[in-house]
Amino acid sequence: MFIDEVKMTLKAGKWGDGIISWRREKYIPKGGPFGGDGGNGGNVILMATTHETTLGKFRHQKIIQAEDGEKWGTQECHGATASNTILEVPVGTLVTDSEDGTVICDLTTPGQKFQICEWGRGGFGNAHFPSSTRQAPNFAELGDAGTIRDVKMELKLVADVGLVGLPNAGKSTVIQSITNVKPKIAAYAFTTLIPNLGVMEWRDRSLVIEDVPGLIEGASEWKGLGFQFLKHIDRCRIIIHLLDATQWEEAMIENYRVIRKELENWNADMANKDELIIFSKAELVDPEQLEEMVKIFEKATKKKIDLTISAGAYIRIDELKDLLIQRIPDTREEELILVEDDDGMIQSPDAEPLTIRGEDIPHYYDLKRQNDPKRCTIRKREDGDYEITGVRIEEIARMTDTRYTDGVNRVYDVMERMGVMRKLKLLISDGITREDRWFFEGEADFKVPAVWVGGKKFSLEGLIFMQDER
């Protein structure tokens, strides 16, 4: 089954948890902390390959998660690193955020890779936390969860030539005559139900030809079968517009205008895409009549007929191949700017935006948070509590095992060093009238707000003291 669109949730592997352990050796009765660190989780990496032609293998996979890192034990050892999960997708796969439609990556080159989900940091064992005031830390960090993304993967076939036309225009016969593909051919409309890709080998050149199922009026508005495959024409370098020469001149002219309208309604860039207009089934029309039809068509549309052919009788097929070779440059120009990093090819933020249905969308979606990791913001919630957001502080809170008092106290210590506690004191103080200001520790008639960090709630009872500074 040809599947060109799927939605799924991708999850990086969780890092392993750190361990609470103590050094216990002969002649060392009171050894220090000795707990090891959790191992790395696996990343989720997308890789474009020519071995896959559809997204069908992901059809029933709603969630794909990389392996978790290993939880380790004593002797300050580090847990084993999990393997990355590499998902092979067809060349031409466009990946977007399923919620807002933001483009994450566009895999247009064989072997191109993109790390879409990254593991979180591994939990430190208690061997990392001794200090002058805390010589026996009785806590360890939890492994941080990796990146989770709800994505939509959409296949847009990558071909040099897109073959379009109304149903039963003879597209399948043409692609069979010029390429190595053998599509189903029959004397009725909508014989082709999925796009066909074939390779044309001619005069030391190789071109990929795509036969798109027949379009009808309203296809850009989701009518008929062709609407599902309009997106596959976006990447073509040139379009062959095939017209059935056995029709009346008025019908051919109208059919041409209908298809052009549907293409441009789908993507405005289609108006500027190179085009060949070909009359097919020429063997069924009297030569003089065919010549007259060409003149009428060109006068009405202001478009030139490039060739009249008969694919079934193999008439002027070699001329068609030569014409394609002439119109398509030897070297395919890269439509996207790519940069190489350690994980393979990724989209450059300098690339020109895509234009889909008149809207510009960026090629690049930055998966890394660019703000200062130590920077944080404080927001008052509707319930009177406060919420702190920031890369570093949220990471520490998420990885804190709240079962251990020492671990919770570390969160408070970090907030103190970052200036969060001082700011909270000022914010709470500003919300209290002058007459109501006091040291409120233990006061039953004053509700001390809590603070939320990384999805966890931390009490401020006994930690913040108010003074009347007026």
The domain locations on the chain are 5-156+337-361, 161-327, 377-458
What pTM was computed for the model? 0.58
CA-atom Rg of the chain in angstroms: 32
Q: How many other CB atoms are there within 10 angstroms of residue 175's CB atom?
A: 27
Give the C-alpha separation, 325 to 23, whole Å: 74
Place of tokens 């005559």: 177
Which has the higher per-residue pLDDT, 280 or 126? 280
pLDDT digits (tens, 9 = 90+) for 406-444: 888 888 888 888 888 888 888 877 665 544 444 444 444
> Number of C-alpha atoms within 13 angstroms, CB side, residue 273?
22
- The three-state secondary structure class of 151 is strand
Q: Which fold has domain 377-458?
A: GMP Synthetase; Chain A, domain 3 (3.30.300)
Lowest-confidence range among 47-51, 163-167, 178-182, 463-467?
A: 463-467
Give the C-alpha separation, 325 to 312, whole Å: 21
Q: Give the pLDDT score at 295.
A: 93
Q: What is the mean pLDDT of residues 140-156?
A: 84
Place of tokens 């997106």: 231
Burial of 268 per CB tally in 10 Å (0-12, 13-18, 19+): middle
Token pair of 277 as six digits = 């207009």
Superfamily for domain range 5-156+337-361:
GTP1/OBG domain (2.70.210.12)
Q: Are strands 274-280 and 307-308 parallel, antiparallel or unpaired?
A: parallel
DSSP H or E run through 150: strand 148-155
Domain spanning 161-327, CATH architecture: 3-Layer(aba) Sandwich (3.40)
The partner residues of 150 in beta bridges, in order of sequence, read 9
Give the C-alpha separation, 142 to 459, whole Å: 20
Helices 287-301 and 249-266: crossing angle, nearest 10°? 40
Residues in the chain: 470
pLDDT digits (tens, 9 = 90+) for 64-122: 988 887 665 555 556 667 788 999 998 888 899 988 888 899 888 888 899 999 876 67
Give the C-alpha separation, 195 to 265, whole Å: 20
Mean pLDDT estimate for the chain: 76
Give the C-alpha separation, 114 to 108, whole Å: 11
Q: Give the pLDDT score at 228.
A: 59
C-alpha distances (whole Å) from 464 to each of 412, 446, 450 are 11, 13, 11
Answer whether 5-156+337-361 and 377-458 agree in fold: no
Closest-CA residue to 232 (of 252, 255, 208, 256): 208
DSSP H or E run through 280: strand 274-280
Q: Could you tell me what percent of the chain has a pLDDT over 90? A: 16
